[in-house]
Amino acid sequence: MTVVALGVPSVHRPQSPAPEEGPLVDTFGRVATDLRVSLTDLCNLRCTYCMPAEGLDWLPSDEKLNPDELIRLLGVAVTRLGITSVRFTGGEPLVVPHLEDVVAATAALRPRPEITLTTNGVGLAKRAAGLKRAGLDRINVSLDTVDPARFAAITRRDRFTEVVAGLRAAKEAGLDPVKVNAVLDPVSGLDDVVSLLRFCLEHGYQLRVIEQMPLDAGHSWERERALSADVILSALRRHFTLTPDPRPRGSAPAQLWQVHDDGHVTGHIGIIASVSDAFCSTCDRSRLTADGQVRNCLFARDETDLRALLRSGADDAALEDAWRAAMWAKAAGHGINDPGFVQPDRPMSAIGG
């Protein structure tokens, strides 16, 4: 693979056309096999680092892919482009009534991709078993604190009990390993992460702490305020014995640590240093928004409109070509640490995290 230089702005204009067949590659030799699908931009929480209190200008219904259109694009991704892993996200994917149908249709594709879900967990208690039956393999539930009052302050909603019930139901349904995604509050986060890790160890969940990224709708992210992986790790090490997980990391964004107690490994924690130690050089992701736009990076400033192609009667070969061209133009890195960095117009909730 070509070595990818990090830190260039996220616009890239390749001089040559994309390959017409083979894996979904970019000009730096990276292969996209992991597709993130945003099912909706709607959400029932208002996490401060993601959405403003009043919500956003939601996508009109007719601009969103309907289930048939989405399933057709998933077919193109899996059968023609070599996607082997599909993660449904949003917005909040559990507010989408056809989620189970889309999971089942994805599970029917061959070769069957791995199917995962990222959710805030509200309403999951009632749906975890059905999602498992439909074909869901694994789940990440977002939870930034185990203090109910702080949960309400961060999410601007009083739904803590429901999220905890959702986690329990996911484990009971066999969606193993259940992972907990946490974005830490700049003020309370270093306390929150200690009790979160204790909670996860106690219940058998795997904690993933994600550095906060400049993807909030309010554009209020400040590098100096966001907690970095190093700071988070130091805070945890005051309470836990952590050693690097010996397993190869591959293209996984999380650096994994083993948690020890009394000489035994009692669990794992992953830290995703998206800002302070970007993993762009091994990125294997492609993204599809709820309104049918392919994005080759969370931070991309260009999108490719597959919905318009679909609705104009394009065949699968044309959709494949457009998707290949979109990924071919993937930049080397997200560019967050460049002086000229420009935050994308779409916030995280409208891209799909």
Site of interaction with ligand SAM (CB under 6 A): 43, 49-50, 89-90, 92, 118-120, 142, 181, 183, 210, 212-213, 215-216, 348-349, 353
Cβ contact 80:50 at 8 Å: no
Cβ proximity to ligand SF4: between 18 and 47 the closer is 47
Sign of dihedral through CA atoms 43, 304, 139, 202? negative
Considering the rule CB under 6 A, would residue 164 count as an interface residue with ligand SF4? Answer: no
350: which 2 tokens?
């409208």
- Asked whether residue 142 is marked as a ligand-binding residue, the answer is yes
- C-alpha separations of 147 from 54, 120, 170, 171 in Å: 24, 16, 21, 21
In terms of Cα–Cα distance, which of 274, 179, 182, 197 is closest to 235? 197
84: which 2 tokens?
């082997």
- Asked whether residue 61 is marked as a ligand-binding residue, the answer is no
Sign of dihedral through CA atoms 169, 272, 294, 143? positive
Q: How far apart are CA 118 and CA 137, in angstroms?
A: 12
Find where tokens 């991709």 sit.
113
Provide the 8-state DSSP code for 56.
Answer: -
In terms of Cα–Cα distance, which of 333, 305, 230, 299 is closest to 73? 305
- Coil, helix or strand for 53? coil
Choose the one of ligand SF4, ligand SAM, none that binds residue 51, judging by a C-beta under 5 to 8 angstroms depending on kind.
ligand SF4
Choose the one of ligand SAM, ligand SF4, none that binds residue 46, judging by a C-beta under 5 to 8 angstroms depending on kind.
ligand SF4
- Asked whether residue 213 is marked as a ligand-binding residue, the answer is yes
307: which 2 tokens?
């919905």
What's the min distance (Å) between Cβ of 47 and ligand SAM?
6
Q: How far apart are CA 41 and CA 38, in angstroms?
A: 7
- Asked whether residue 1 is marked as a ligand-binding residue, the answer is no
Provide the 8-state DSSP code for 173.
Answer: T
Choose the one of ligand SF4, ligand SAM, none that binds residue 106, judging by a C-beta under 5 to 8 angstroms depending on kind.
none
- State the number of binding residues for ligand SF4 (CB under 6 A): 12
- Asked whether residue 286 is marked as a ligand-binding residue, the answer is yes
What's the min distance (Å) between Cβ of 353 and ligand SAM?
3
What's the min distance (Å) between Cβ of 216 and ligand SF4?
9
Q: How far apart are CA 331 and CA 295, in angstroms?
A: 11
Residues 15-74 that bind ligand SF4 (CB under 6 A): 43, 45-47, 50-51
Choose the one of ligand SF4, ligand SAM, none that binds residue 213, judging by a C-beta under 5 to 8 angstroms depending on kind.
ligand SAM
Considering the rule CB under 6 A, would residue 92 count as an interface residue with ligand SF4? Answer: yes
Cβ proximity to ligand SF4: between 47 and 278 the closer is 47
Output the residue with the shortest Cβ distance to ligand SAM: 353
List residues forming the annotated binding site for GTP: 36, 87, 118, 179, 285-287
Residues making contact with ligand SF4 (CB under 6 A): 43, 45-47, 50-51, 90-92, 120, 142, 349
List residues forming the annotated binding site: 36, 43, 47, 49-50, 87, 91, 118, 142, 179, 213, 280, 283, 285-287, 297
